[in-house]
Chains A and B, each alone.
Chain A
Amino acid sequence: MNNNRKFLYGHELVVQACLDAEAEVMYGYPITPTCEILSGWIATGKPSLQTEDEIAAGFAVCGAVLAGQKAFTASGGPGHILLQDGMSMAEGMRLPFVIIVGQRGGPSSGTVIYSQQEVMLACFGGNGEGLRLVYSPATSRELYELTRQAFNDAWQYRFPAIVLTDGYLLKMRSGINLAEIKIENVPAHQLVPEDKIVHWPNIYTMEEELNEQINLAQKDWDEISPPIAKAEILETADAEILLIAHGIVGAAVKEAVKQLRKSGIKAGYFRPITLRPFPKKDLDNLFMKDNLKKIIVIESSSGQLARIVREQLAPEIAVGFEYLQKPGLGIEVEEIIDFIKNN
């Protein structure tokens, strides 16, 4: 029996991860399913502010990181939409902006606990090229680890970082031993320094100036993408069908693959842990041999992950696609197995 093992909610793990990442302040506005992150952070006694809306929360985070403070916010659904304003500034100015998104059903106010419909918004929600790091945890442990990583990558590489989770994971309790997890922190630094003068634009007079900035950011993005992009891959060596899912649906698919294997179906498992940058090489490499005949993308959306997979997969790879899509609904192991067996 390990005494360090605790039984914690997902939102408690997020707050603990932010503390352990040495985050100094949270700005936020209450919205389900992320309210407990805000109240949980406030309960730690660390600096915080419940702002008048998510727009103010987003820009307060921008201001804080400009001054060199590790800051973050959390939201979902309509609040996530409003945060795109600040996130867009963070993308334009390369600010280490960290947000934990608890996806809820959409469009509009939708439902309040669960969905996987904020993938496009998280990845490409700004008026730019989508140069933001997006992590999709499948388990409570990963929720903790990826929140830590979001701070580290944001401050090391200076791109906004989004931990894209959902209310199921945030409101679920699981046993975890945090003492086992060793992650070193990347320290914060002043972006507007005290000892010299900075003149920092984010709007340009000439199209060429903006184009140059975008190209520079894209070059950095392309360089950091291979080390950051990550996937969980199982049972692919002889697989004939490849099941692709992300986030908590990925956890169900992983279990489904285990059971399908037991009944002799050659199923493989691919779960992007980072949606941006997408683990493209890892996916393409699975097609070096010609065992894989079909990809099945499984998600709680009408195809937001599928769009990314189709776009990222090398165009010369000829493979059939099928989809199990349940927008706004959770997906259980049994229905995944039934779907595979009936297709």
Chain B
Amino acid sequence: MPENLAKFCPGCGYPITLLMLNKTLEKLGIQKQAVLGLDIGCALLAWNFLPINTFQTHHGRVVPTMMGFKRARKNSLCVALVGDGGAYAIGLQSLIHAAKRDEPIMVIVTNNTVYGMTGGQTAPTTLNMQITPTSPQGNIEEPFFGPELLKGIVKEGAFLARTAVNEPKQLMEYLEKAIQTQEVGHFSLVEVLSFCPTNWKTVGTQTIDKLNGLKNVFKLGEL
């Protein structure tokens, strides 16, 4: 059960990921060791949501913070929750190097193709020709594929995968694998395709249709 009411927008995908994370930690009996670091962006809203140790960091800086934490407390289970902008734009340098060094931390990236907190601006994951407040004529870039980029960098034993908030079974399976990966001392990243009806300006089934459409661009599965 969550500790407090969710602070996310109605219809946000984040609480699904967080509740699945909590369920997985519960199932494995490791809530006490878990430490959840939050990037700034919508992830920050999880600061008192789950009954586990949680703190906020800075935009793009949750990965090096959790690296410092994990190296200091090796028996902890360090989870970095970050958006696609925090992970793949402003924090990419740290993400790449943490992956390359095989830091035993678990990174959960929410990919909803936009900067949600600031009003839906273009993110590294924004689709080609997607219209956003900072790409009013449509995004001229191709989207960024985080797990695929890291694939060529990580060491043997690391875990990289992509799933979606409406694939609960797979989401839980990947979160569990990511936790197990940390337990044996390796880096893991799970990208979760998520919806943002507030900034997508979608209602009802439009939101689900758009999310399912993303799966054609961002392939689900383990890498």
Residues of A within 8 A of B (CB): 24-25, 27, 47, 49, 51-53, 55-69, 71, 85-86, 88-89, 93, 192-194, 197-203
Segment from B70-78, B81-89, B169-177, B191-199 that makes contact with A = B70-78
Chain B, 55-73, CB within 8 A of any chain A CB:
55-58, 61, 64-73
With contact pairs A25-B72, A192-B35, A198-B54 given, residues A63 and B65 touching in the complex (Cβ less than 8 Å): yes
With contact pairs A89-B61, A194-B32 given, residues A64 and B71 touching in the complex (Cβ less than 8 Å): yes
Question: Are B3 and A199 touching (Cβ within 8 A)?
Answer: yes
Q: Which chain A residues lie closer than 8 Å to B40 at the CB level?
A: 203
Chain B: number of interface residues, binned into ranges: 20 to 34
**Extra A-B contacts (14), CB below 8 Å, given A66-B65, A194-B33:** A47-B71, A59-B57, A59-B64, A60-B64, A63-B69, A68-B72, A71-B68, A192-B53, A192-B55, A192-B69, A198-B53, A199-B55, A200-B47, A201-B56
Q: Report the Cα distance A197→B97, complex, angstroms.
A: 30
Question: Are B94 and A66 touching (Cβ within 8 A)?
Answer: no
- CB A116 to nearest CB in B, in angstroms, measures 29
Residues of B within 8 A of A (CB): 3, 32-33, 35, 37, 40, 44, 47-48, 51-58, 61, 64-73, 76, 93-94, 96-97
Q: Report the Cα distance A58→B63, complex, angstroms.
A: 12
Question: Are A52 and B61 touching (Cβ within 8 A)?
Answer: no
- CB B93 to nearest CB in A, in angstroms, measures 5
Please tell me which one of the listed residues B52, B56, B72 contacts residue A63 in the complex, with CB atoms under 8 A apart: B72
Please tell me which one of the listed residues B32, B47, B55, B64 contacts residue A51 in the complex, with CB atoms under 8 A apart: B64
Q: Report the Cα distance A64→B72, complex, angstroms.
A: 5
Q: Report the Cα distance A62→B69, complex, angstroms.
A: 8
Question: Are A59 and B73 touching (Cβ within 8 A)?
Answer: no
Q: Report the Cα distance A88→B40, complex, angstroms.
A: 14
Q: Report the Cα distance A27→B101, complex, angstroms.
A: 14
Q: Which chain A residues lie closer than 8 Å to B70 at the CB level?
A: 63
With contact pairs A89-B58, A200-B55, A202-B56 given, residues A56 and B93 touching in the complex (Cβ less than 8 Å): yes
Q: Report the Cα distance A199→B46, complex, angstroms.
A: 9
Question: Are B94 and A201 touching (Cβ within 8 A)?
Answer: no
Q: Report the Cα distance A193→B54, complex, angstroms.
A: 11
What are 10 A-B pairs with beta-carbon distances under 8 A?
Answer: A59-B65, A60-B67, A63-B37, A63-B64, A63-B68, A65-B72, A88-B58, A192-B69, A194-B32, A203-B40
- CB A154 to nearest CB in B, in angstroms, measures 16
Question: Are B93 and A53 touching (Cβ within 8 A)?
Answer: yes
Q: Report the Cα distance A67→B67, complex, angstroms.
A: 11
Q: Which chain A residues lie closer than 8 Å to B53 at the CB level?
A: 192-193, 197-198
Q: Which chain B residues lie closer than 8 Å to A59 at the CB level?
A: 57-58, 61, 64-65, 68, 94
Question: Are B94 and A55 touching (Cβ within 8 A)?
Answer: yes
Q: Which chain B residues lie closer than 8 Å to A198 at the CB level?
A: 53-55
Q: Which chain B residues lie closer than 8 Å to A62 at the CB level?
A: 57, 65, 68
Please tell me which one of the listed residues A55, A200, A203 contacts residue B64 in the complex, with CB atoms under 8 A apart: A55
With contact pairs A55-B61, A59-B64, A85-B61 given, residues A200 and B56 touching in the complex (Cβ less than 8 Å): yes
Q: Report the Cα distance A88→B57, complex, angstroms.
A: 10
- For the complex of A and B, the 4 pairs showing the least CB-CB separation, nearest first, are A63-B68, A60-B68, A67-B72, A69-B72
- CB A292 to nearest CB in B, in angstroms, measures 45
Q: Report the Cα distance A27→B69, complex, angstroms.
A: 12
Please tell me which one of the listed residues B33, B76, B94 contacts residue A56 in the complex, with CB atoms under 8 A apart: B94
Q: Which chain A residues lie closer than 8 Å to B56 at the CB level?
A: 200-203
Question: Are B93 and A52 touching (Cβ within 8 A)?
Answer: yes
- The residue in chain A whose Cβ has the minimal distance to the Cβ of B51 is A197
Q: Report the Cα distance A88→B102, complex, angstroms.
A: 28
